[in-house]
Amino acid sequence: MNIWQGQRVHLRGVEPGDWETFDRWDQDSEVARLCYHVEFPRSQEAMKKFAAEAALAEPKGHAYRWMIETLDGVPVGTINTHSCDPRHGTFGYGLAIAREHWRQGYASEAICLVLAYYFRELRYQKVTAHVYAFNEASIRLHEKLGFQLEGRLRRMVFTDGAYHDELIFGMTAEEFAARHVGRQTFEVSISEGSDAHPPSHS
């Protein structure tokens, strides 16, 4: 048994060769908008450097980045933890799923694999997720996973010519255990989109 493997995906570290995957994903401006913001174009050399540095990076205070792959070895997205505070037991995460892999249950399982590790192995007690108010698929995803809406920050994001609110979702270790621990799978029966926290937050 490998705690980084679920029924649909497994999580692994970034490899230098992943630069081509990141470069391909970087061409989708709409996914970028859902995850963070639309960046200036990045060169292939910049992507190679990013992947090479990520491949060698050690966890920084429990902050880490994983590649999300299907069990057949197809990369479908990335997930990273950030804002990890062992003293208070809180952390956040960012996630993005490539458009062609939406609605397959990959996001929900990847999130649950990471949460299980942080709650059950590292003794964290709460996770917080920030979601843009226009990302309806991510809102539904977090509600189905059992996150509680804890707040709304008004006009925090400017994209596509308009200001948007940012929603704050939270889940405690006890809430996660009651909903997910002991289940055979982390299945969530919803239509998934891309999550609204950026991998670049780490």
Going through the chain in order, the beta strands assigned E by DSSP cover 9-12, 65-70, 75-85, 90-97, 126-132, 148-159, 162-172
Phi-psi region of 53 (alpha: psi -120 to 50; beta: other; left: phi over 0): alpha
pLDDT at 197: 40
Q: How many residues does the chain have?
A: 202
- Is 96 inside a domain boundary? yes
- Is 129 inside a domain boundary? yes
The tens digit of pLDDT for each residue in 105-144 reads: 999 999 999 999 999 999 999 999 999 999 999 999 999 9
The tens digit of pLDDT for each residue in 54-65 reads: 999 999 999 999
- Beta strands across the sheet bearing 65-70: 9-12, 65-70, 75-85, 90-97, 126-132, 162-172, 148-159
State the pLDDT confidence band at 183, using cuts at 50, 70 and 90: low
- Is 101 inside a domain boundary? yes
Percent of the chain's residues with pLDDT above 70:
90
- Is 4 inside a domain boundary? no
Domain of residue 106 covers: 9-201
- Is 108 inside a domain boundary? yes
Q: How many CA atoms lie within 13 A of 85 on its CB side?
A: 11
CATH number at residue 24: 3.40.630.30
Those residues with Cβ within 8 angstroms of residue 77's Cβ, 6 or more apart along the chain or in another chain: 67, 68, 95, 96, 97, 98, 101, 106, 107, 110, 194
State the pLDDT confidence band at 35, using cuts at 50, 70 and 90: confident
Is pLDDT at 195 greater than 80 in this prediction?
no
- Is 1 inside a domain boundary? no
- Going by C-alpha positions, the residue among 116, 21, 40 that lies closest to residue 78 is 21
- Is 2 inside a domain boundary? no
- Is 169 inside a domain boundary? yes
Percent of the chain's residues with pLDDT above 90:
86
Calculate mean pLDDT across residues 56-84: 97
Number of domains in the chain: 1
In this predicted model, which residue has the larger pLDDT, 189 or 156? 156
